[in-house]
Copies of this chain bind each other. A is one copy, B any other.
Amino acid sequence: MSLKAFQDYYPDHVSHCYGCGRLNEHGLRIKSYWEGDETVCRFEPKPYHIAVPGSVYGGLIASLIDCHGTGSAAAYAYRTEGREMDSEPSLRFVTASLRVDYLRPTPLGVVLELRAQAKEIKDRKVVVGIRVIAEGEVCCQGEVVAVRLREV
C-alpha cells in the first residue's frame, strides 16, 4: 500500500470535494489505495451516519462509492498510460452515473472496506465496479461510470 492516497495527488483547485477533497474540512476525506490489482478504501462511518437503527445510511454508502469510484478511475487511467500519479497532465474524473444495490443492511460501528476494479477503460470513460464489505460480508455493490475532465 502506497503511503500517499490517490486523492492526495489531485491538484489543489480540484481538492475541495465533500467526499474526497483533502482541503474540505467539513468533508469525508476518503482515501483510496492500490492493493494488488484492486483499489481499496477503508472508512468508518460516524454514529450519526445512520439509516434505521444499526445500519449505515445509504446516501453515505453512495458517497463512498462515488468518490472511491472516481479516484479509482484516475488510478486505472494513469496505470493504463504507464504513468505515475504525480506526472503531468493531471487526470481527474467526475461521475456520469452511479448505481448502488443494497444487498443487506450495512452494520454501523465497524470499518467498511470498499474494493474496486475497472470493468472498462476507454478514452475518457472508465467504468468501475465496487463492493462494500463489512465484517467480511458484501453488503452493497456499486458501479460508477466516470468521465475524465477535459481540463484540470
Binding site for B on A (CB under 8 A): 13-14, 16-19, 21, 24-27, 46, 48-53, 57-60, 62-64, 66-67, 92, 94-102, 149
The answer for the CA separation of A134 and B16 in the assembled complex, in Å, is: 21
The answer for the CA separation of A24 and B46 in the assembled complex, in Å, is: 12
Report copies per complex.
Answer: 2
Chain B: CB-nearest residue to A143 = B99
Known: A97-B102, A102-B97. A149 touches B17 (CB 8 A): no
* Contact between chains at A51 and B94 (CB < 8 Å): yes
* 6 A-B pairs with the lowest CB-CB distances in the bound complex, closest first: A59-B63, A62-B62, A26-B48, A18-B57, A59-B66, A97-B101
The answer for the CA separation of A97 and B100 in the assembled complex, in Å, is: 6
Chain B: CB-nearest residue to A62 = B62
Known: A57-B17, A62-B62. A97 touches B99 (CB 8 A): yes
CB distance from A32 to the nearest CB of B (A): 14
* Contact between chains at B97 and A18 (CB < 8 Å): no
CB distance from A116 to the nearest CB of B (A): 15
Which residues of B sit under 8 angstroms from A102, Cβ to Cβ?
94-98
Of B16, B24, B50, B66, which contacts A58 at CB under 8 A?
Answer: B66
Chain B: CB-nearest residue to A144 = B58
